[in-house]
Amino acid sequence: MEVEHGAKVIDQNGEVLGTVDHLMRNLWTGEISKFMVRREAPDEDLFLSPDDVMEVTGSTVKLKFIVD
Protein backbone atom coordinates (compact mmCIF):
# COMPACT_ATOMS: atom_id res chain seq x y z
CA MET A 1 0.00 0.00 0.00
CA GLU A 2 1.47 3.34 -1.04
CA VAL A 3 -0.32 6.52 -0.02
CA GLU A 4 0.44 9.31 -2.51
CA HIS A 5 0.65 13.07 -2.06
CA GLY A 6 -2.58 14.71 -3.28
CA ALA A 7 -4.70 11.55 -2.92
CA LYS A 8 -8.33 12.08 -1.89
CA VAL A 9 -9.10 10.69 1.60
CA ILE A 10 -12.54 9.30 2.45
CA ASP A 11 -13.89 7.75 5.65
CA GLN A 12 -15.66 4.41 5.95
CA ASN A 13 -18.99 5.99 4.86
CA GLY A 14 -17.48 7.52 1.72
CA GLU A 15 -17.42 11.08 3.14
CA VAL A 16 -14.58 13.10 1.58
CA LEU A 17 -12.29 14.36 4.35
CA GLY A 18 -9.57 16.13 2.35
CA THR A 19 -6.33 15.34 0.54
CA VAL A 20 -2.97 13.90 1.57
CA ASP A 21 -0.63 16.86 2.04
CA HIS A 22 2.49 15.62 3.86
CA LEU A 23 4.09 12.19 4.07
CA MET A 24 6.44 11.33 6.95
CA ARG A 25 8.76 8.40 6.27
CA ASN A 26 10.87 6.18 8.49
CA LEU A 27 14.46 7.23 7.70
CA TRP A 28 15.78 3.66 7.94
CA THR A 29 13.18 1.79 5.91
CA GLY A 30 11.66 4.55 3.73
CA GLU A 31 8.16 3.35 4.66
CA ILE A 32 5.44 5.88 5.43
CA SER A 33 5.00 6.20 9.20
CA LYS A 34 2.39 9.01 9.19
CA PHE A 35 0.62 11.27 6.73
CA MET A 36 -1.32 14.50 7.05
CA VAL A 37 -4.77 15.05 5.57
CA ARG A 38 -5.36 18.71 4.68
CA ARG A 39 -8.97 19.68 5.46
CA GLU A 40 -10.93 22.83 4.71
CA ALA A 41 -11.65 25.28 7.53
CA PRO A 42 -13.12 25.07 10.11
CA ASP A 43 -12.14 21.36 10.22
CA GLU A 44 -8.72 20.59 11.66
CA ASP A 45 -6.10 18.70 9.66
CA LEU A 46 -5.69 15.00 10.51
CA PHE A 47 -2.48 13.08 11.20
CA LEU A 48 -2.92 9.39 10.43
CA SER A 49 -0.81 6.25 10.15
CA PRO A 50 -0.93 3.49 7.53
CA ASP A 51 -2.70 1.34 10.16
CA ASP A 52 -5.73 3.68 9.80
CA VAL A 53 -6.09 2.86 6.08
CA MET A 54 -8.52 0.21 4.85
CA GLU A 55 -7.55 0.39 1.17
CA VAL A 56 -5.81 2.52 -1.43
CA THR A 57 -7.28 2.50 -4.94
CA GLY A 58 -5.86 4.78 -7.60
CA SER A 59 -5.77 8.25 -6.08
CA THR A 60 -8.21 7.50 -3.23
CA VAL A 61 -7.42 6.47 0.34
CA LYS A 62 -10.26 4.86 2.32
CA LEU A 63 -10.01 4.85 6.12
CA LYS A 64 -11.12 2.11 8.56
CA PHE A 65 -13.28 4.50 10.59
CA ILE A 66 -15.77 7.37 10.39
CA VAL A 67 -14.66 10.96 11.11
CA ASP A 68 -17.23 13.36 12.57
Structure pTM? 0.91
Burial 17-52 (b: 16+ CB within 10 A, else e): bbbbbeeeeeeeeeebeebbbebeeeeeebebeeeb
**Domain 8-63: which topology?**
SH3 type barrels. (2.30.30)
- pLDDT confidence band for 25 (50 / 70 / 90): very high
Give pLDDT, residue 61: 97
Domain ranges of the chain: 8-63
Segment 40-64, tens digit of pLDDT: 999 999 999 999 999 999 899 999 9
